[in-house]
Structure 1
Amino acid sequence: MALLVHVLACAFGLGSWVAVNGLWVELPLIVNTLPEGWDLPSYLTVIIQLANLGPLLVTLMYKLCPGRLKERIVIYSILSIGILSCILLAFFWDKTTTVAGASRSTAFFIITFFLSLVDCTSSVTFLPFMMQLPAKYITTYFIGEGLSGFIPGIVALGQSVGITKCVNSSQTAGNQTGGDTWSSHTENLPPNFSTEVFFFLLAAMMCISLAAFVALNRLPQTFELSSENLVPETVASVSSGLENPGAETDGEDLKCQGEGAAQINLLLAGPKHSVYQLTFIYFMVVWVNGATNGVLPSVQTYSCKPYGNLAYHLSAALASVANPVACTIAMFFKNRSLVFLGVLTALGTGFGSYNMAMAAMSPCPLLQGSVVGEMIIVLSWLFFTGTLSYVKVMVGVILRDRSHSALVWCGAAAQIGSLVGSVTMFPLVNVYQLFKSGDFCSTKCPY
């Protein structure tokens, strides 16, 4: 039974961010088709963050009407919307309309909004639901969440997304001389299967997540799906994410809790965090999610594409491997030291800073045109994702041991960080145009 629940928890986590992750790994192919081109990732980050309306409403319901919001109904709804949106995306992703005299990917943006609504809302519903399971299944859930990026990445590798070659072509120089000039341009090679098939695969993964959720809800009640695994909201209030749980509850109250008193005492006996430590924990949540979900994705095309479409393709697909690997490491090597997590956050920020610097130098970043440069940029994205993914998992484990509300606020903090990051980057990319695009084959750099 324990193995079955591990499998179901992993499959359930698969639907948390599979749609948005799938869009990111497919971008090397999509940016060559849709009219927004290299600016498309910055549009996506803003659309994804606009979808924070969903988690905002859920968080307010938790705060204002505790106990009334039925997580199961919300999860059933968003997974169903996700399946339908993936199917619609397969049919309409490349349809454009004219807006203000320019061609825009209206259908793609609208459907992406609903997919983002699903994934963003999962941050404040999936984890709180997992509180009904023993703590050992939380890490398994995070592995499933990591696989929501890993599996689309592997599929994209098999699809050969965005692979290109440089082609020389001649043009007539002028009417008087009649001579020809030679120029080089990028030619996209056809993928092994279409984008439509890829989106249908995403819909299938959402169906698997929905089936796993149905199975989790039908587990025998004799299994550990009971409230005795939780810190009751009477002990840990909605504000327990920022206060020590049980701080206002005396020993006599705990004796009256009944059958779950032993488990509650065990949780409360664990290490407590001061207000400053909790502030640091939530700061890490905001910072890490702002970097991984808002700031760096907006400029991934500018940091990778100058090295060629292969580097862009590998950085998008292989970086997704780092997430489940980090979750697996966290499953066997748990380090809750805030100093260690702070060092990892700084290290991941360093890799992200290198990626940002290369984007700012586009179309002529360091070592452009060399194999070494391609390897460094791919590895930098890999380690950036891996280190910060480990931090995300361990912070989730720490806050899970506090209370249901601590996880809710963790999800809210994650979305706040993502929103701030994307809103900051959008005007820099699309209004002030601080980042410059260029063709890998035709751009001539001084080094």
Structure 2
Amino acid sequence: MSLLTHLLACLFGMGSWVSINGLWVELPLIVPQIPEGWLLPSYLSVIIQMANIGPIFVTLMHRFQPGVLNETAVIYFIIGLGTVATFLMGFFWKETLVVAGASRSVALLALTFFLSVVDCTSSVTFLPFTMRLKPQYLTTYYIGEGVSGLLPALVAMIQGVGVVRCVNSTQLPDHTLNTSDGASTFDLRAEYLPANFSVEVFFFFLSFMMLVCLGAFLLLNYHPSVAREHPNTCLRNGVKDKSLSKRKGAEEKPMMDPYREVNPKRKSNFGTGTYSWMQVIYIFVILAWVCALTNTLVPSVQSYSCLPYGNKAYHLSATLAAVSNPLACFIALFLPIRSLLLMGALTLFGSGIGAYIMVMAVMSPCPLLVNEVSGGVIMVLAWFFFVLSLSYVKVIVGVILRDEGHSALVWLGAVVQLGSMLGAVTMFPLVNVYSFFTSGDMCNTKCP
């Protein structure tokens, strides 16, 4: 294995979701300066789901017109689009237009749609591209995908996003409250501290990261040392020699697994036929459920589950959750266990933790152990192990389907987006329409 190829695969994977992940972590600085306010996250959820038109188109083309769509050209296009969109976002994110008599952040919402198309489409193009590399580099790609969430979070922490203090708003008489014993108390309000650098700089940073992804993709396509890492590929004077490749593959095939049947009976017509149709359905159902949990269902209530325990618990939960994703991928790099039983057990474990997080969110602003240090510690650990266990499941599913061929990875990407969409459709009315969750005020909420 080549260290250079590992690095390039990681940087390539990093560009998959870095733009949208970066936009989410920057919301505390964006929201106070735009007319939509805290309704913006609900708008973003809808826009991201609308952007699934990209992966739907690619999946249908692979299904009904195989070989017509140039995968490499599509990847160049979406990376270039993401680079330009994030760069323009730095200039126009707070520009508004009057639409239907109200001021709207048209530029921000339109550019967010293009970024969403880029990131959603990466699920059905980036992963299939990894078929051109040896199987070991798929896990490295997943590490990069995890870093796409971790890196913006770390930069946002340096920037000082979401640092809140409680200030006394007693300048006006109506802020003064009288208690039953006649004493006067004062209304406190949460105030975000100024950032260390601007939102514009943050978006330019995201644009630079997309350029890094583009550079990594170029090198993965054209660097000679990477070409040597292509499976079943031999080079003669720096040029691929197909005859040598075929001969080498024929010589090595019986040595790969001497106890494997020469012509094993196919269990299904999916991929190599290794898995039966029931097992294939099981794998995809697990994948859709895990993606729904980790991408939309549980993250949509993160603030409700964590903020009652304090601002520090909230930031630790978000940071460790971002760290646990690439950590799970790193573990899978050395322990790529392809057990369907383990996959199910880890899914049940992670789902149980997700249920605990969801229950605490429902109980907000006064969840269990809200006044105890142990409550915050448990919540931080819950988020860490929730993301760690289910991220490992996603990587193992990727490793299994990678062995089943290119079209299996296309379907993997489509199911990832399907699961995320179903989760978003479920949570949007609960959070935004029916107000099923109640946000606590860290400065004023008192729990028994």
**Is the TM value for this pair above 0.5?**
yes
Identify unmatched segments of 5+ residues in structure 2: 234-244, 258-262, 265-271
Offset, 1:187: 1.8
CA 1:112/1:369 → structure 2, altered by over 3 Å: closer, same or farther? farther
**Number of the residue aligned with 1:107:** 107
CA 1:102/1:311 → structure 2, altered by over 3 Å: closer, same or farther? farther
Q: Deviations over 1:305-347 (max 9, x none)?
A: 3333333333223311111111100001121111111111111
Which residue of 367, 372, 375 maps to 2:374?
A: 372
Maintained 8 Å contact 2:293/2:423: yes
Asked if 1:393 corresponds to 2:388, the answer is no
Equivalences for 1:319-330 in 2 at 5 Å?
A: 319-330=321-332
**Number of the residue aligned with 1:182:** 186
* Distance in 2 of aligned mates of 1:375 and 1:17: 29
**Number of the residue aligned with 2:173:** 172
* Distance in 1 of aligned mates of 2:203 and 2:62: 33
Could you tell me the TM-score, scaled by structure 2's length? Answer: 0.85
**Number of the residue aligned with 2:214:** 210
Maintained 8 Å contact 2:78/2:118: yes
Equivalences for 1:153-302 in 2 at 5 Å?
A: 153-170=153-170, 171-172=172-173, 181-220=185-224, 223-224=227-228, 228=232, 259=247, 260-261=249-250, 272-302=274-304
CA 1:346/1:415 → structure 2, altered by over 3 Å: closer, same or farther? same
The residue type paired with residue 73 of structure 1 is: A
What percent identity do the matched residue pairs reach? 56
CA 1:106/1:291 → structure 2, altered by over 3 Å: closer, same or farther? farther
Offset, 1:40: 3.8
Maintained 8 Å contact 2:18/2:206: yes
Backbone CA RMSD of aligned residues:
2.8
**Number of the residue aligned with 1:306:** 308
* More off after superposition, 92-101 vs 421-430: 92-101
**Number of the residue aligned with 2:148:** 148
CA 1:298/1:387 → structure 2, altered by over 3 Å: closer, same or farther? same
How many residues align? The count is 418
**Number of the residue aligned with 1:21:** 21
SS at 2:132 equivalent = coil
**Number of the residue aligned with 1:52:** 52
The residue type paired with residue 428 of structure 1 is: L
Offset, 1:261: 4.8
* Distance in 1 of aligned mates of 2:364 and 2:156: 25
The residue type paired with residue 378 of structure 1 is: V
SS at 1:187 equivalent = strand
SS at 1:336 equivalent = coil
Offset, 1:64: 1.1
CA 1:107/1:362 → structure 2, altered by over 3 Å: closer, same or farther? farther
* Distance in 2 of aligned mates of 1:378 and 1:195: 27
* Distance in 2 of aligned mates of 1:106 and 1:8: 36
SS at 2:26 equivalent = helix
SS at 2:119 equivalent = helix
SS at 2:169 equivalent = strand
Maintained 8 Å contact 2:325/2:388: yes
* Distance in 2 of aligned mates of 1:39 and 1:111: 17
CA 1:87/1:210 → structure 2, altered by over 3 Å: closer, same or farther? same
The residue type paired with residue 135 of structure 2 is: A
**Number of the residue aligned with 2:410:** 408
